[in-house]
Structure 1
Amino acid sequence: MSTETTASVSTHILDTSAGRPAGGVAVRLLARSGREAGWQALGGSSTDADGRCKDLPAPPEGTTHVRLEFDTETYFAKKQAAAQQDAPALRDSENGRPVFFPEVTIAFAVVPGEHYHVPLLLNPFGYSVYRGS
């Protein structure tokens, strides 16, 4: 049993449309203390070349919920700009947007002393998350 008074959070993003890590995705961490409390922005970072974001700040003591916000629209727009001209477009052709989900927001409950690794499996038209180890 841990004696830590705060939780810790990390994330990892894999771009399932490319079969590789998603580097350069901006990630923001927010926290709240109780279901009715407002969200407090704690800081942010970007994923590295391996798709990992290891340097998110620790939530403050008393945190009960954490929220991760991923800027997926910017990631896919940069990816499309770098793609070869004959590559398939990463567009929602019906609406002309670069991606269907311009951002991904994940909120989850935390317990002091636990580490929460939350991987995001991402593509332009869908995503999946789970509690990792």
Structure 2
Amino acid sequence: MSQLSCHVLDNTNGIPASGITVKVSRLGSFECLAEGITSDDGRVDFGETRFAPGNYTLRFLVAPYCEETFGQTFFPMIDIHFTIVDKRHYHIPLLLSPFAFSSYRGS
């Protein structure tokens, strides 16, 4: 079983994005397997939950953060789909700005 964490960085202001709710589910399912809120350093560690190989979705509910920080919301939520294939720690950063976002497999 694998572990999972994520990190949200506000690329516009060059700071971690805190207070964002993040939910994990199996791809195609609405059942939430784990949930957290980004800390002051923009991180969520789903350490208590173990993930079997398969396809998953991280859903970042960014609308409240974007409204407060950027004064508007273009992407109210961002879904990142990924595949767990082996036993390791998976870390998925999200880089956020008012009109764009990107993600990658972190370490």
TM-score, normalised relative to structure 1 = 0.72
Size of the aligned set, in residue pairs, is: 105
Choose from 5, 17, 33 the match for 1:10.
5
Give yes or no for the alignment of 1:69 onto 2:71.
no
Across the aligned residues of Structure 1 and Structure 2, the Cα RMSD in angstroms comes to 1.6
Q: Tell me, what secondary structure is at the counterpart of 1:12?
A: strand
How far apart are residue 109 of structure 1 and its match? 0.9
- How far apart in 2 are the matches of 1:103 and 1:130? 17
Identity %: 36
Offset of residue 114 of structure 1: 2.0
Select the residue among 81, 86, 92 that pairs with 1:107.
81
**Partner Cα separation in structure 2 for residue 55 and residue 8 of structure 1:** 7
Task: Give the drift of 1:58.
Answer: 2.2
Which residue is equivalent to 1:29? 24
Residue 78 of structure 1: aligned partner: 68
1:43, CA displacement in angstroms? Answer: 2.1
- Measured against aligned partners, the alpha-carbon deviations of 1:88-107 in whole angstroms (never above 9, x if no partner) come to xx3xxxxxxx2111110001
The answer to which structure has the higher strand fraction is 2
- TM-score, structure 2 length as denominator? 0.88
1:128, distance to aligned residue in structure 2 (A):
0.5
Max Rg structure: 1
- Aligned partners of 1:65, 1:126: CA distance in 2, in Å? 24
Kindly state the Cα deviation for residue 51 of structure 1 after the two structures are TM-superposed. 0.4
- Give me the whole-angstrom Cα distance separating, in 1, the residues matched to 2:105 and 2:5: 10
